[in-house]
Amino acid sequence: EVQLVESGGGLVQPGGSLRLSCAASGFMFEGYELSWVRQAPGKGLEWVSHISSSGTILNYADSVKGRFTISRDNAKNSLYLQMNSLRAEDTAVYYCARKGGSNVFDYWGQGTLVTVSS
């Protein structure tokens, strides 16, 4: 069974940093591209970042470019999102999502909540 489990969310002050993790199981992790997608409270979905299966190709939304860094460790079946210089508008539930064979997000984690507030 495919599983994606996010962790690392919490309350952080504006300007602070946080590192999210996504632990994967039930599939050949190194063969799949992955993304982070977020959802602010009561709002819609926003794609944040993408990483290729090898980790060599990275893409970011303009809203996080230069502040967030996506990475992966295929030996540990894990995806990460390093978030620096956090702003109030980064407050959201962050989901990791697998890009399946049809090139869409076929599996999602349950999400981890990041709250940026003083």
- Segment interacting with other proteins, rule: CB under 8 A, options 10-18, 21-29, 59-67, 79-87: 59-67
Confirm or reject binding of residue 72 to other proteins (CB under 8 A): no
Q: Which amino acid is residue 19, in one-letter code?
A: R
Choose the binding region for other proteins from 16-24, 58-66, 73-81, 83-91 (rule: CB under 8 A). Answer: 58-66
Q: Does 61 bind other proteins (CB under 8 A)?
A: yes
Q: Which is nearer to other proteins, 62 or 75 (CB)?
A: 62
Other Cβ atoms closer than 10 A to 86:
22
Contact 48, 61 (CB under 8 A): yes
Cα–Cα distances in Å, from 54 out to 17, 51, 74, 91? 25, 8, 8, 29
Interface pattern 88-107 for other proteins (x via CB under 8 A): -------x------xxxxx-
Q: How far is the CB of 16 from other proteins (least distance, A)?
A: 25
Structure tokens at 19: 């590192």
Question: What is residue 102's three-state secondary structure?
Answer: coil
Identify residues 2-41 at the interface with other proteins (CB under 8 A).
35, 37
Q: Closest Cα partner for 36 from 84, 76, 4, 2?
A: 4
User: CB-wise, 74 or 113, nearer to other proteins?
Assistant: 113
